[in-house]
Structure 1
Amino acid sequence: MLPNFFVVELHAVELPFASARNRAPNMTGPRMIQPYPEPFLGFADEQVHTKWYIELLTTFETSDAYRTVTVRYLIVDANSSYNVLPKSLRLVQEQIQQNADLLACQSSLTKLAPLEAVLFELDGTICESLQVHTFVLRNMLQEMGFNADTVTKEFLYDIVVGKTKDEIALSLFPDDLPRRLKFMEDEEAQFRKEVTHVWTKEGFGRMRRWIERRKFKRAAVTNASRAHAEFIISKLGLSDFFDAVITKDECEHGKPHPEPYLKALEALKASKDHSLVFEGSFPGVKAGVAAGMPVISLDFKAPFDLLMEAKPAFVIKNYKNHKFWDALYELEKAGRAPSV
């Protein structure tokens, strides 16, 4: 027993299951306990001294299902248990937030006045679905023979975050077009099978009411198939919200090409000079900007420097951002006819 040493769970795979049931050593490595030199910060910015890590097979369960995955546990020098973040990750998060706040302060949407149309991506923009997509993708890759220890959360995020489905399939099967097409179809089908409920991003209810009360035209624009898009829209209760839905089935080119957004403008009979885009991925931001519209980028999944190359008008975590709402009200004010 090691007095004054505590275990911190790190990089636990996100799964739609409840608490851990049991743990057993993962004996695939040459040694069970390995040194862990990276410095950590606690949530009060105090230094936490890391010692070692051990990878354990951990079972997560609900009343009727369970799954076992590899979780890395850190052993730290401390007098009590800790919730901590790697120092490097903490600094990255702070830099992203500072840059996003600066961008928000410098942005204006008044040139869109009067606003007439709002265009949305679905996944990652209106709904929270990344966790389910990575869960489905993990199962599919393991069924195809990928080593379970290889298909980590970091591996999945690296091939999923900020990528189109075509890019994901291309990275997995670069020389096999039929397999890529089947993989994309199977992933969407499995996603629809797994999902029983889809959650909207924080603050979207307020965004929806603001749009509906002003009777703006609205469209969903996605690289997903029509079947998948309609499934998500139905689960979100937005079947009567959108005036148009543009999917990969209607487009020769997907995002980051501007074609999907240009088709949406055509379907709505709206001008790019009076339309606003909400996006949740780097390719999507590029597509909206290339179509000639300002883009609101939600969430911080892409590296900030990369995201800035796409030139979004705003970067916000969710629809509760106060600076963003200030910009919307300024836009609304600019669109009002002057009193006589």
Structure 2
Amino acid sequence: MLTALLFDLDGTLTDTDTLHLQAFRKLLYDHDGRELTQEQFNVQISGRSNALLFADLFPGTDAAHRQALAEHKEALFRELSPALEPMPGLLRLLEHAKRHGIGKCVVTNAPRLNAEHMLSAMGISEWFSHVLVSDELARAKPDPLPYLTGLQRLEAQAGEALAFEDSLPGVKAAVDAGIFTVGLATTQSPERLLEVGAQLVIEDYNDPRLWALIERMQAA
């Protein structure tokens, strides 16, 4: 049966990577004149927690300085995203889950301020009973802890859940938590998502294969 849906946020509920790339490019250029390519962003930044990626981007700085840089970058992102569009088919899926009593949870490596801003900018804050932020847990993705915590909050078993992810660390986290993981091909190629364990890769939530899967799980 299907009792829980767990969603990443950036690139999964809404396509925000271009905005994050713009914010990182401005931060790095203003800080030390550094350039950032799309490929570098995909490999070094996308899907990772700020604690890890800022340590890699600014290895010569102390923790307080890195935190200030991270907060500045996230403020730049929020300025660039006063309104956001949900991924195609997402509202249809959320409405289906509500009708059938399926629990819904956001599991994100984004900071709390960003998560709340993005859900509000999409107009979907009220759809989620829980918003889990990895920075508030002992370990972030790619560790499975955020998804295991999401299952606990929804009082669901891994075999009764679906996870939706667009990043490689996120897919690994959900797969290692034992959840059937659906990859969104917004920031990574389908091949890379499948390589790290995604069991289905879709372009958006209108994909007939996703709805066939949901129907099978609800009928089980």
TM-score of the pair, normalised by structure 2: 0.90
Distance in structure 1 (CA, Å) of the matches to 2:190 and 2:72 = 32
CA distance 1:189–1:166, shift in 2 (3 Å): same
How far apart are 1:154 and its partner, in Å? 4.1
Percent of residue pairs bearing the same amino acid type = 32
Match of 1:307 in 2: 193
Distance 2:135 2:155 in 1: 20
- How many residues align? The count is 219
Contact 1:161 1:302 in 2 (8 A): no
Instruction: Give the CA deviation at 1:124.
Output: 0.5
Which whole-Å CA distance do the structure 1 matches of 2:107 and 2:166 have between them?
Answer: 11
Question: Is 1:273 equivalent to 2:162 in the alignment?
Answer: no
Greater mean deviation of Cα atoms: 171-180 or 279-288: 171-180
Structure 1 segment 96-115 matched on structure 2, within 5 A: 114-115=1-2
Specify the alignment match of 1:170 in structure 2.
55
Q: Does 1:242 align with 2:128?
A: yes
Give the AA of the match of 1:186.
H
Instruction: Show CA shifts across 1:275-326 (max 9, x none).
Output: 1111111111111111111111101533555433321121111112122222
Specify which structure has the higher proportion of helix: 2
Kept in 1, the 8 Å contact 2:11–2:186? The answer is: no
The Cα shift of 1:239 comes to 1.8
Q: Distance in 2 between matches of 1:123 and 1:190?
A: 15
Aligned to 2:208: 322
For 1:325, the aligned partner's letter is W
d(CA) in 1 for partners of 2:168, 2:124: 24
Which stretch of structure 1 is more off in the superposition, 165-174 or 214-223? Answer: 165-174
- Indicate if the aligned counterparts of 2:2 and 2:160 stay in contact, CA closer than 8 A: yes
What is the correspondence of 1:19-98 to structure 2 with a 5 Å cutoff?
A: none
SS, match of residue 21 in structure 2: helix
Matched, 1:195 2:81: yes
Q: Which structure has the bigger radius of gyration?
A: 1
List alignment gaps of at least 5 residues for structure 1: 1-113, 335-340
Quickly say closer, same or farther: Cα 1:256–1:152, change in 2 above 3 A.
Answer: closer
Does residue 129 in structure 1 map to residue 16 in structure 2? yes
The whole-number CA distance in structure 1 between the counterparts of 2:111 and 2:47 is: 18
Q: Partner letter of residue 69 of structure 2?
A: F
Query: Counterpart in 1 of 2:93?
Result: 207
User: 3-state SS of the aligned residue for 1:255?
Assistant: coil
Alpha-carbon separation, structure 2, partners of 1:232 and 1:333: 33
Q: Say which SS state the counterpart of residue 18 (structure 2) adopts.
A: helix
Instruction: Please name the residue that 2:27 is paired with.
Output: 140
Residue 6 of structure 1: aligned partner: none
* Aligned-partner SS, 2:12: coil
Residue by residue over 1:110-161, the C-alpha shift from the partner in whole angstroms, topping out at 9 and shown as x without a partner, is: xxxx1111111111000111111111111111111225xx334444444333
TM-score relative to the length of structure 1: 0.60
Where 1:144 maps in the other structure, the secondary structure is helix
Higher relative contact order (CA 8 A, sep 6+): 2
Can you give the 5+ residue segments of structure 2 that lack an aligned partner in the other structure?
none
The answer to whether the aligner puts 1:159 opposite 2:44 as a matched pair is yes
